[in-house]
Amino acid sequence: MPRHVNSLRYDNSSSDDEDSSVDDLPVLLAIHDAMSEQEVPRAPVKLAEVPGFSVRIVPTATFVFDSSKLKPKCNNVRSLREEAIFQATPRYNSSILEDMFMVENVEFVNRTFREWKSLRDALILLKAWLVREVPCTCTMV
């Protein structure tokens, strides 16, 4: 039976197993369906399209890819043609690395801002200045 959580981040890294499996991966978002535990049959639900809203599922498994193969000068995208020249794919490699280490990066940023009061104050001042000086019609993503 699947484990359901109520928080936005649940880390199941307390496992003593040496094997890394899908069940041991950090979960960034878990949705609990209250109806799933009841015996009431229900019809499939069609999700409505909401403009401007999207859900991004990010795999944060650091053990899936070897980070030494994701250097900026490496190529990790193969062509269907055998005679193709394999150029470096730095943007692709960095996006994979960003997704792999997202949890560690968020923890590092949170820890840094908790420990440095002056950095927090500087960020608040920067945000206030940006709101006042830079007209922005865009939305934060």
Number of domains in the chain: 1
Q: Is the pLDDT of residue 52 over 90?
A: no
pLDDT at 61: 76
pLDDT at 15: 44
- 27 in any annotated domain: no
Q: What is the pLDDT of residues 9-41, one digit of tens each?
A: 434 444 444 444 555 555 444 444 444 555 555
Its domain, for residue 126, covers 67-78+85-133
- 18 in any annotated domain: no
- 35 in any annotated domain: no
**HSE (CB half, 13 Å, CA atoms) of 78?**
3
pLDDT at 6: 36
Token pair 């409505």 in the structure block, residue: 48
- 105 in any annotated domain: yes
- 39 in any annotated domain: no
Higher pLDDT, 44 or 20: 44
Tokens for 139? 């939305």
Beta carbons within 10 angstroms of residue 100's beta carbon = 20
